Chain A
């Protein structure tokens, strides 16, 4: 291909264009990574719940913060929803004291051992009913706090401070942009409501397993899918719209910049294009050379951007207080494919220019 030969012979010129593509790809990948990271922070713990649907009290407007369920509601949801398995889960935000003494907040999730609400322990051990002062903490909690399994941590809630011992580590992620901490539901009731009696709420939400549970409801409760529950986490929809807009602008600007670059290159080569058409090349033949160049340059640009992003991600993750950023293979693949496609679309402008070149200009051209 003449287009590829030109890249080989004009390495510096095309390397500069590839550098621009790399920087744009890097930017879009980082934006996507931040989007995924923010989503993870917003509620990866919710996504990791071993459930198909989540039930809320019907006055809560699908807010985990506002939802409160009584024992009677929990019992009825278990029956009325038709769930194959169910478990109550409590939530509260509370502060803890880091190793250095600073106060930080965390998302406390309360469960009963042996139910579907119990998290998976990756290090240490699971809580038992006897672990009223025991905690399971997410690995991000350990990183932020500087604590380790076996350490004691002071929890502050409702002006009360209480010491807990970290007995295990989980990898369930974050909730409400805070690391998740698991404790027994009975302890959570005491911490959140103080005195516990028959009227005290026993859970915030119910986790349900089974088919067709999303959309079911009963007196005083409603169940939705995990994705709906996630989208209703306070601040998530606005955050997702912002990230989507940033992504869209990234793709658009990427396509436009590459399109403009190749448009200018095409304008500079009008004489050569005229010659090629004069000796019988079709517009398609010439355009194919441009498209091969765009494809080659955008693939090269993206190929450099991916490891660059990966390295940046690693560096960020090793920082003491990392910004929320996360990457999946899907993020890399989707972003790369979309960027290359946008580059090809941007290069279509050059196609119009190529088609417009009249081969007659080859005659009478001075060197």
Chain B
């Protein structure tokens, strides 16, 4: 299934009064089905806040977010958790694997959370590990994996619940550039081959160039580079 994302006039303000900080200001964009979009910008530009709002980790101050026509901006905390569980796959900057679990078990964390950790979940985990070239590392505990392997396991975990959106936060922060490139290429391939929508926050332009489109953010304002469609 192809996934579309529409962000309209989205703003996020932290604090209030004189201490208010507007992290995202009236951001609007939409994507085409099956795209992989990179969000770039300097530290503090609001790109992580944008990712968090799209991923249901933050509630916008104003504006709309629609994933396949479903409103995300108005969800309450419980609905946000369900949305993240069912529709979002996250790849974090620090990969955030549970260090005491094996590669396979780290993927199965997702099926444990959704309460569907049966044989099918194990098969899906093994299939994802195979696609990511990690079959021989399936039983290795996370602390025994290299940085690149850990990030690939994190990609597998993000795909475990067959999400609509795959949201990626600085995936190469802990990797050297060659390994980082491999990881991002692998990530984009996995996301696009499944017809998912990918949104990747990065400060690394070399990685961003691998995406279909690039959104630039400065001081919470969004500008589009490439052929990203402006929201109507």
The 9 closest A-B pairs by CB, nearest first: A280-B85, A9-B100, A275-B96, A280-B84, A367-B94, A365-B94, A281-B113, A367-B174, A360-B57
Q: Could you tell me if B90 and A278 are in contact, using CB atoms closer than 8 angstroms?
A: yes
Q: Could you tell me if A5 and B100 are in contact, using CB atoms closer than 8 angstroms?
A: yes
Contacts A277-B81, A279-B85; A365 near B109 (Cβ below 8 A): no
Q: Does residue A264 face the partner (Cβ distance < 8 Å to B)? A: no
Q: Does residue B145 face the partner (Cβ distance < 8 Å to A)? A: no
Smallest Cβ-Cβ distance to A1: which chain B residue = B112
The contact sample of 6 A-B pairs, CB cut-off 8 A, is A271-B94, A279-B109, A280-B84, A281-B85, A362-B57, A367-B94
Q: Could you tell me if B92 and A272 are in contact, using CB atoms closer than 8 angstroms?
A: no
Partner of A365, one of B96, B114, B157: B96
Q: Does residue B3 face the partner (Cβ distance < 8 Å to A)? A: no
Smallest Cβ-Cβ distance to B89: which chain A residue = A279
Complex CA–CA separation, A278 to B158 (angstroms): 11
- Residues 350-367 of A contacting B (Cβ, < 8 Å): 359-360, 362-367
Complex CA–CA separation, A6 to B105 (angstroms): 11
Contacts A6-B100, A272-B98; A363 near B51 (Cβ below 8 A): yes
Looking at chain A's contact residues, is the secondary structure mostly helix, strand, loop, or mixed?
A: helix
Query: Which residue of A6, A278, A360, A362 has the most chain B CB atoms within 10 A of its CB atom?
Result: A278
Shortest beta-carbon distance, A268 to chain B, in Å?
11
Q: Which residues on A sit within 8 Å (CB–CB) of B28?
A: none
Q: Which residues on B sit within 8 Å (CB–CB) of A276?
A: 109, 113
Complex CA–CA separation, A285 to B83 (angstroms): 16
Q: Does residue A237 face the partner (Cβ distance < 8 Å to B)? A: no
- Residues 63-108 of B contacting A (Cβ, < 8 Å): 81-86, 88, 90, 92-96, 98, 100-101, 105
Q: Could you tell me if B98 and A360 are in contact, using CB atoms closer than 8 angstroms?
A: no
Complex CA–CA separation, A364 to B95 (angstroms): 10
Complex CA–CA separation, A271 to B157 (angstroms): 17
Smallest Cβ-Cβ distance to A360: which chain B residue = B57
Residue positions of A touching B, CB distance < 8 A: 1-2, 5-6, 9-10, 271-272, 275-282, 285, 359-360, 362-367
Q: Does residue B58 face the partner (Cβ distance < 8 Å to A)? A: yes
Complex CA–CA separation, A2 to B52 (angstroms): 26
Q: Could you tell me if B85 and A360 are in contact, using CB atoms closer than 8 angstroms?
A: no
Q: Which residues on B sit within 8 Å (CB–CB) of A5?
A: 100-101, 105
Q: Does residue B173 face the partner (Cβ distance < 8 Å to A)? A: yes
Q: Which residues on B sit within 8 Å (CB–CB) of A364?
A: 48, 93, 169-170
How many inter-chain contacts with C-beta < 8 Å in the A-B complex? 87
Complex CA–CA separation, A272 to B106 (angstroms): 12
Q: Which residues on A sit within 8 Å (CB–CB) of B210?
A: none
Contacts A2-B101, A272-B98; A365 near B85 (Cβ below 8 A): no
Q: Could you tell me if B48 and A279 are in contact, using CB atoms closer than 8 angstroms?
A: no
Query: Which residue of B84, B96, B109, B112 has the most chain A CB atoms within 10 A of its CB atom?
Result: B96
- Residues 100-128 of B contacting A (Cβ, < 8 Å): 100-101, 105, 109-110, 112-114
Smallest Cβ-Cβ distance to A364: which chain B residue = B48
Smallest Cβ-Cβ distance to A283: which chain B residue = B81
Q: Could you tell me if B57 and A363 are in contact, using CB atoms closer than 8 angstroms?
A: yes
Query: Which residue of A279, A362, A367 has the most chain B CB atoms within 10 A of its CB atom?
Result: A279
Q: Could you tell me if A278 and B84 are in contact, using CB atoms closer than 8 angstroms?
A: yes
Smallest Cβ-Cβ distance to A8: which chain B residue = B100
Shortest beta-carbon distance, B84 to chain A, in Å?
4
Q: Which residues on A sit within 8 Å (CB–CB) of B113?
A: 276, 279-281, 285
Q: Taking A271-B94, A275-B92, A365-B94 as given, write out 18 further A-B residue pairs in contact, using a Cβ cutoff of 8 Å, ordered by the A residue number.
A: A5-B100, A5-B101, A9-B100, A271-B96, A272-B96, A276-B113, A278-B90, A279-B84, A279-B85, A279-B110, A359-B57, A362-B57, A362-B90, A362-B96, A363-B48, A363-B57, A366-B94, A366-B173
Q: Could you tell me if B114 and A280 are in contact, using CB atoms closer than 8 angstroms?
A: yes
Q: Does residue B141 face the partner (Cβ distance < 8 Å to A)? A: yes
Q: Could you tell me if B96 and A282 are in contact, using CB atoms closer than 8 angstroms?
A: no
Shortest beta-carbon distance, A165 to chain B, in Å?
71
Complex CA–CA separation, A271 to B93 (angstroms): 12
Complex CA–CA separation, A275 to B101 (angstroms): 14
Complex CA–CA separation, A6 to B102 (angstroms): 11
Complex CA–CA separation, A275 to B169 (angstroms): 13
Complex CA–CA separation, A277 to B100 (angstroms): 18
Q: Could you tell me if A363 and B95 are in contact, using CB atoms closer than 8 angstroms?
A: no
Q: Which residues on B sit within 8 Å (CB–CB) of A6?
A: 98, 100
Q: Could you tell me if A363 and B52 are in contact, using CB atoms closer than 8 angstroms?
A: yes
Complex CA–CA separation, A275 to B173 (angstroms): 17
Q: Could you tell me if B109 and A367 are in contact, using CB atoms closer than 8 angstroms?
A: no
Q: Could you tell me if B174 and A9 are in contact, using CB atoms closer than 8 angstroms?
A: no
Q: Could you tell me if A9 and B109 are in contact, using CB atoms closer than 8 angstroms?
A: no
Q: Which residues on B sit within 8 Å (CB–CB) of A367?
A: 93-95, 173-174
Complex CA–CA separation, A280 to B55 (angstroms): 11
Smallest Cβ-Cβ distance to B167: which chain A residue = A363
Q: Could you tell me if B81 and A2 are in contact, using CB atoms closer than 8 angstroms?
A: no
Shortest beta-carbon distance, B81 to chain A, in Å?
5
Q: Which residues on A sit within 8 Å (CB–CB) of B105?
A: 5
Contacts A276-B113, A285-B113; A9 near B101 (Cβ below 8 A): yes
Q: Which residues on A sit within 8 Å (CB–CB) of B170?
A: 364
